[in-house]
């Protein structure tokens, strides 16, 4: 998924200087962003208070939206470098096309994982016809320096492993949780899991104390370590936890995001992740000149032009503002 902000901020993320080494409860509020022609998203990362959780560096939550009489998601071809995109749906479908020839319809609780590596372009759209409701999350994972030039590729996994407890089903999207490992390719120590809780459930989820974590609320009423987390908000939890208390007042859906704190500093601008302002300048030049990123075939419309770069170069500020 694209960041379609026409005036995106150029910012530095990563590094361990601002990692919270102990458990915390830091509630992050979203900002609303228009995505494409008719989709509105709630952006949780990067946030005014925090830019990364492990290697997770971008989190959008959207819906549930009634698109019965609307075109739904319509995101024209756009580029990515230096990251993985994770598409995750609770309702609806998204048709993915990319410049390496992938064509796949992603459905609820199926993993769409695109590794941009050196460079890829893709489009995302609601199929025609499409389901009445659209509800999901789009996330990015920063690639570590050793792997950020891998060959671009796309993976689709309709079947994913699950961890269960009374009233809880945890679907492992990426990385490992409680001995279950996703088939999706991960390039750093990470975990992403979809948590479904039945009303009245009280349980504890095992965690890795070396990871930092956050929980995104997708739906319902749930308390995470005693904190009520409403749909579209995210609770940052810090490090040092061996378990996470969860309580559901109603049927609820959450996403657990975590990983080893990302040591490298990264530069994010529009749909690229690099290591310097100069590298971002080159990414933009390549996209506008039609090199590096290939062509998305089959999408009915032109690609998205890159926004202008800011007039001043980046000043690194670490993981938080």
Q: Which residues are annotated as a binding site?
A: 78, 80, 122, 124
Residue-wise DSSP of 51-75: S-BTTEEEEEEEEEEE-TTS---EE
Backbone angles phi, psi at 195, to 5 degrees: -110, 120
CA distance 58 to 13: 11
| Residues contacting 217, CB < 8 A, separation 6+ | 229, 230, 231, 232, 233, 234, 235, 252, 253, 254
Which residue's entry shows tokens 């290939």? 294
3-class DSSP state of 146: helix
| Residues contacting 112, CB < 8 A, separation 6+ | 85, 86, 87, 88, 94, 96, 104, 106, 154, 155, 156
Question: For residue 272, what are the CA distances in angstroms to 11, 99, 151?
Answer: 11, 16, 16
| Residues in binding site for Fe cation | 78, 80, 122, 124
């Amino acid at each position: 998924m694209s960041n379609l902000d026409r005036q995106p901020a150029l910012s530095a993320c990563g590094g361990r200087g601002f990692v919270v080494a102990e458990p915390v409860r830091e509630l992050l509020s979203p900002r609303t962003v228009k995505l494409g022609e008719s989709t509105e998203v709630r952006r949780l990362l990067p946030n005014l208070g925090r830019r990364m959780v492990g290697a997770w560096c971008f989190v959008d939550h959207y819906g549930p939206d009634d698109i019965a009489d609307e075109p739904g998601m319509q995101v024209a071809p756009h580029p990515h470098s230096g990251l993985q995109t994770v598409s995750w749906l609770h309702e609806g479908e998204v048709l993915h096309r990319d410049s390496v020839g992938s064509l796949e319809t992603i459905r609820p609780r199926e993993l769409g994982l695109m590794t941009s590596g050196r460079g890829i372009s893709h489009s995302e759209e609601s199929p025609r016809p499409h389901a009445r409701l659209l509800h999901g999350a789009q996330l990015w994972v920063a690639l570590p320096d050793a792997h950020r030039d891998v060959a671009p590729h796309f993976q689709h996994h309709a079947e994913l492993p699950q961890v269960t407890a009374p009233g809880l089903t945890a679907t492992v999207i990426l990385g490992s949780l409680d001995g279950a490992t996703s088939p999706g390719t991960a390039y750093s120590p990470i975990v992403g899991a979809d948590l479904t809780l039945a009303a009245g459930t009280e349980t504890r989820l095992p965690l890795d104390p070396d990871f930092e974590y956050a929980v995104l609320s997708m739906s319902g009423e749930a308390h995470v370590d005693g904190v009520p987390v409403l749909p579209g908000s995210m609770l940052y939890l810090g490090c040092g936890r061996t378990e996470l208390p969860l309580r559901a007042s109603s049927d609820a859906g959450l996403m657990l995001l975590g990983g080893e704190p990302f040591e490298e500093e990264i530069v994010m601008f529009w749909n690229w992740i690099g290591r310097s302002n100069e590298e971002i300048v080159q990414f933009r030049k390549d996209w506008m000149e039609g090199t590096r990123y290939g062509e998305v075939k089959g999408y009915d419309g032109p690609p998205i032009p890159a926004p202008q770069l800011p007039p001043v170069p980046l000043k690194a500020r670490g993981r938080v503002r």
